Structure 1
Amino acid sequence: MQKTLKSIAGEVGGTLLGSISDKTMLAQGVSTDTRSLYPNQLYVPILGDRFDGHDFLSDAVKKGAVAALWQEDRALPSSPSIPLIRVKDTLEALQQLAAAWRREIGVKVVAVTGSNGKTTTKELLGSILSVKYRVHRTQGNLNNHIGLPLTLLSMPRKSEVAVVEMGMNHAGEIALLSQIAKPDLAVITNIGEAHIEHLGSRQGIADAKLEICEGLAQQGTLVIDGDEPLLRERLVKEKRRYIRVGWKEDNDDVLQGFATEGLEGISFTTSLTGSRFTLPMMGQYNAKNALLAITVGRTLGLTEEELQQGLNQVHITGMRLEKVTATNGMLIINDAYNASPSSMRATIDLLSSLDGFKEKWVLLGDMLEMGPEEEAYHREVGRFAMEKGISRVYAMGARGRWIVDGAQEVAPEGKAIHFQNPEEAAQTLLAEGNEGVVLLVKASRGARLETTVEHILKGAKTF
C-alpha cells in the first residue's frame, strides 16, 4: 500500500494530528508489530488481551514509522515525534484501510476457507494462477481479522489476482473477512469437525464456512466440495453461480482414474474435459484440493496445459506431508501442522496405501477444540488406525491417551503406546525404527509434535 496520510485519514474516518505538510507524507506499507516494522510504514497499534500496541509507539518511531494510528480512548502522547491519525478503533481502521486498498487497485480476489486443506488449496491456487497472472497470496497463517487485512495491504499495486485464506473459530468471523475482501471467487474445501467446540455441530460449521458468500460479488462464483451434503442443501436457493467438484458422479466435475505414484505424488482425470493431471503431492484428498484450484483456474481463463504447469511448480509449506529421513533410516511423514478427526483418517488412509515398507507407524497427538465429544473422537482415531493395518500406534498429550485407549481395544498387546514427553518418544522411535519403517506424525498445531520430530531428526536429511 502506498497512500498519503491525508488519504488514509479520510478512508478510516480519522483526524490527522500534525502539521499541514504532514498531509502529503507517503506511507509505504502497514505494520502492527514494531519488531518487523520497516521504515516509512504506517504503524497500527492493536489492543490485545495481554498487550496494548500503543505502548510501543516509541519503538515504532525508532524503526522509522512514518505515522501511526491512535485510538481515541487512549491518552495522546505529550509530544509525538511522528504524525498520528486519531480513530475510534484501530482494528476497525485497519480493516477499513484494507478494504479501501482492495477497491482501489481492482484486483481479482479468490478467497479460500474450509475445515481442512485451506492452506494447501491456497498454495495450489497461487501456483496455478501465477502461470498467467501476477498473484499475491496469504503468507503463513495470516488468515484472521488482523492477518487478512495485512495480507491485502501488502499487495503491490500491480497485482492482478489475490488469493486469500479465511480462517475462523466462531460464527460471524468469516462474514467479516468476506466483507473486507469482497471476493470474486470463493472456495470451500470441505466441512470437518475443526472448531466444533465453538460451533456446536457440523451443521454449525457449514453455516460458518458459507459466510464466505457474504461479500461474494453478485456475478461471482463459488466452488465447493460437492461431496458434502451440508453444503449442497444450503445452496439450493443460491442465485450466484456455484460449481460442485468431487468424487460423486452427480458433481459438475468428477475426479476419475485416481492413481498414486508412491511417495512422488498422484494423478487423476477430470470428467469435465477428460484431461489427466499429475500432482507432486501425496494423498487422495489432495486430488480434490487440486480440482478445486483447477476449477478456479479454468474460470479465470487458464488452459489445461497452463493448469498442469501450475501444478508442477507447487511448493507446500512445512509440516504438511513433509518427508524427511531420520538418522536410523526411518522415513518420517511430518503432517503435524494441524489435525481434526477427518484429516487424521485421511492421512492414515494415505499411510496405509503406501507400498515398500515393512511396517507403518503413527505418532499422533491431541486434536484441539473438539468439544464435549472429544474423547470419542480421539478413541475412534486410535481404532481406525489399527483397523487400517497400522503396525504401531504411538501417541502423546493428555488427549493422546484416548487415542491409545481406542487402539488397544483392537490392537495386539504392546502395539499402542503413550509417551510422556518428546524425549521419551524420540528415544524409542530412534532405537526401534529402521529403513523398513515409515512413521506418520500428526496432531493439532497446539500439541507441538514438531518438537518430537526435531529430536528424532538430529542429523537427518530432507528430500
Structure 2
Amino acid sequence: MNIEEIYGHFLKSSGICTDTRKITPNCLFVALKGAKFDGNTFASEAIQQGAYKALIDDPTYENSTGTTLLCENSLETLQRLATHHRKALGLPIIALTGSNGKTTTKELIHAVLAQQYKVSATIGNLNNHIGVPLTLLNMHQETEIGIVEMGANHHGEIAALCEIALPDYGYITNFGKAHLEGFGSLEGVVKAKTELYRHLKERGKPVFVNTADAKQIENTKDMEIIPIPKKGIDAYMSSSSEDNTIGIQYDKIEIRSRLVGDYNYHNLLAALTIGTHFSITPANAKRAIESYVPSNNRSQVIEKNSNKIIMDAYNANPTSMQAAIQNFERAKGDQKYLFLGDMFELGKDAATEHQQITDYLSKHSIGTTYIIGENFYKTKSDAAHIHQYRSFQELADALKNISLSNSLILIKGSRGMALERIVPLL
C-alpha cells in the first residue's frame, strides 16, 4: 500500500493513536515496536475499541475485514505520512532545538504567535523520531503556523527530524553540556545541534540567531539570518527583587514575566523577536508573555505554606545546573535551601561534572544544600552546609525530621530523579 492510499485513510480518521490505552473513536492506530512490546499484537484490540483502521507491519496480524493496513515498517511509514501531510498543508514550520530551554521557549513562542494565528506546536516534549511525526500529523487545514521542537542525544538525529519536518525557519536556544554520553563533548553537542543549520542552509531557509552567542554567529556564516533582537531594537533584562522573576525591556516596552532565572532572558527575547517577525505587535507579545504561567516542573514557582519553591526538576545537565545555582545565589531570600539531584547521560564525564558542581557549592555557601543520587554521593566535600544522600529514599527519611518555613527553595535534577516528589515532604 503506497503512502497516498494510507494518507487517504488518515484523512478519513480522527487522528493518529499509538497506544491502545488512549484509543479515540475513529482514530488510525499505528502499531509501533519497542524493546518490550510489539504494537502489532494490539491491532485487533484497537479496532474493537473503536479505531477506524490499524496500520501494521506484520502480516500475521492482517485480517480479512479491511480494518488492517499492511506496510513494510510502521515507524518509517508514520514518518513518511507526517512528511506527506506537512507538504500537503504547506504551512510555515519553525523548528526549535538546543541544549537547554527548548520547551519553555517553544511555549513562549506559541503563546506570542497565538495572539494572531492558529498555531500548532509540539505537545510537552514529544520531540523525537516518534514525537515529531505525531506533532506534524496533529496539524490540520486551519493551522497557520507550526512549531516543532526537536530533541536528540546522538549525532544524526536532528538531521533525520529535519528531513521529516522540512522546516522553513530554525532556532537553536544554546549549546550546553547535555547528553555528553551520546555526543562525546561540547564540540560534539555543537556539531549535532547545528545539523538544523546545515539542513536549512541546503534548502535556502533562514535562521533566527541570538547575536550575543558567538558560537551561533560562527555556525551561521553565509546563511540568511534573522537577528535576535532585531537590528535597531533596544532590549535588556530587568529583574524583580520582590519575587525573583525576570522581565525584559523591549523597544521601550516593559514586560514582566512569571519566569525565574536570568537564563530565561534569551528565551523571552527569542519569543518576542520571532513574534514580531510574524507581525505580532509588541503590545500583544507583552500580553501573551505576562499571561504565560510556567508548569511541568520547568522554572515553575510553587507557594507551599510559608515557603517559595523554584521547581526546575524536569531535566538537568551541567550547564543548566550551574546556571540554576548561580541564579539562585543571586535571588533574594533570608533562608535558602537547595535540593539537587544527579545529572544523567554524561557518560565518562559524570564524575568530573558532578564534582565540579559540588566544588562550586562548597566554595559558595548559598544555603543548606542537599545533593541526591549515586553520582553526587560519590563527590567529595567537607563543607558543613552540604548534605549527601545516595537515594531519594534516604533524603525522604531525613526530611521527616526537618521543618522548613519562610524559605526560598530550589529543586533541580534530571528527570529520572523525579525530585518533584520532594514537595509533598516539605
TM-score calculated relative to the size of structure 1:
0.85
Asked if 1:401 corresponds to 2:377, the answer is: yes
Corresponding residue number in structure 2 for 1:338:
315
Distance in 2 (alpha carbons) for counterparts of 1:46 and 1:12: 20
* Contact 2:59/2:70 (<8 A) preserved: no
Distance in 1 (alpha carbons) for counterparts of 2:229 and 2:414: 27
Corresponding residue number in structure 2 for 1:5:
none
Corresponding residue number in structure 2 for 1:460:
none
Closer, same or farther: CA 331–426 of 1 in aligned 2, 3 Å: farther
* CA displacement, residues 337-363 of structure 1 (integer Å, 9 cap, x when unaligned): 0001111111112211222x3221111
TM alignment of 1:173-188, pairs within 5 A: 173-188=157-172
Instruction: Give 1:317 shift.
Output: 2.5
The worse-fitting range, judged by mean Cα deviation, of 23-32 and 289-298 is: 23-32
Closer, same or farther: CA 66–373 of 1 in aligned 2, 3 Å: same
Distance in 1 (alpha carbons) for counterparts of 2:234 and 2:279: 20
Distance in 2 (alpha carbons) for counterparts of 1:363 and 1:284: 19
Instruction: Give 1:254 shift.
Output: 6.7
Corresponding residue number in structure 2 for 1:31:
17
Instruction: Give 1:386 shift.
Output: 3.9
Asked if 1:323 corresponds to 2:307, the answer is: no
* CA displacement, residues 145-188 of structure 1 (integer Å, 9 cap, x when unaligned): 00111111112320111111100111111111112112222110
Corresponding residue number in structure 1 for 2:413:
443
Opposite residue 24 of structure 2, the aligned amino acid is Y
Instruction: Give 1:25 shift.
Output: 8.7
Instruction: Give 1:12 shift.
Output: 5.8
Corresponding residue number in structure 1 for 2:365:
389
Which of 443, 455, 461 matches 2:425? Answer: 455
Corresponding residue number in structure 1 for 2:328:
351
Distance in 2 (alpha carbons) for counterparts of 1:173 and 1:307: 32
TM alignment of 1:57-456, pairs within 5 A: 57-71=43-57, 74-77=58-61, 79-216=63-200, 218=203, 220-236=205-221, 238-244=222-228, 255-263=235-243, 265-270=245-250, 273-326=251-304, 329-355=306-332, 357-402=333-378, 405=380, 408-409=381-382, 411=383, 413=384, 415-429=385-399, 431-456=401-426
Where do 5+ consecutive residues of structure 1 fail to align? 1-8, 17-21, 457-463
Closer, same or farther: CA 76–245 of 1 in aligned 2, 3 Å: same
Instruction: Give 1:423 shift.
Output: 4.3
Distance in 1 (alpha carbons) for counterparts of 2:398 and 2:304: 13
Distance in 2 (alpha carbons) for counterparts of 1:429 and 1:177: 44
Distance in 1 (alpha carbons) for counterparts of 2:142 and 2:200: 22
Instruction: Give 1:110 shift.
Output: 1.3
Opposite residue 226 of structure 1, the aligned amino acid is T
Partner SS state of residue 28, structure 1: coil
Partner SS state of residue 190, structure 1: coil
Opposite residue 215 of structure 2, the aligned amino acid is L
Instruction: Give 1:41 shift.
Output: 1.0
* Contact 2:234/2:252 (<8 A) preserved: no
Moved over 4 A (4+): 22-25, 251-255
Partner SS state of residue 374, structure 2: coil
Distance in 1 (alpha carbons) for counterparts of 2:237 and 2:408: 26
Corresponding residue number in structure 2 for 1:11:
3
* Contact 1:220/1:241 (<8 A) preserved: no
Over aligned residues, Cα RMSD in angstroms?
2.6
Distance in 2 (alpha carbons) for counterparts of 1:451 and 1:82: 47
Partner SS state of residue 124, structure 1: helix
Instruction: Give 1:367 shift.
Output: 0.4
* Contact 2:307/2:404 (<8 A) preserved: yes
Opposite residue 222 of structure 1, the aligned amino acid is V
* Contact 1:261/1:267 (<8 A) preserved: no
* CA displacement, residues 72-127 of structure 1 (integer Å, 9 cap, x when unaligned): xx233363444322222111110111111112122221111100000000010011
* CA displacement, residues 374-403 of structure 1 (integer Å, 9 cap, x when unaligned): 111111112223444312221111012145
Partner SS state of residue 224, structure 1: strand
* Contact 1:382/1:393 (<8 A) preserved: no
Partner SS state of residue 148, structure 2: strand
* Contact 1:226/1:232 (<8 A) preserved: yes
* Contact 2:95/2:150 (<8 A) preserved: yes
Instruction: Give 1:235 shift.
Output: 2.0
Where do 5+ consecutive residues of structure 2 fail to align? none
Partner SS state of residue 40, structure 1: coil
Closer, same or farther: CA 347–69 of 1 in aligned 2, 3 Å: same
Closer, same or farther: CA 330–239 of 1 in aligned 2, 3 Å: closer
Partner SS state of residue 68, structure 1: strand
* Contact 2:54/2:67 (<8 A) preserved: yes
Instruction: Give 1:257 shift.
Output: 4.8
* Contact 1:423/1:455 (<8 A) preserved: no
TM-score calculated relative to the size of structure 2:
0.92
Number of residues of Structure 1 aligned to a counterpart in Structure 2: 425
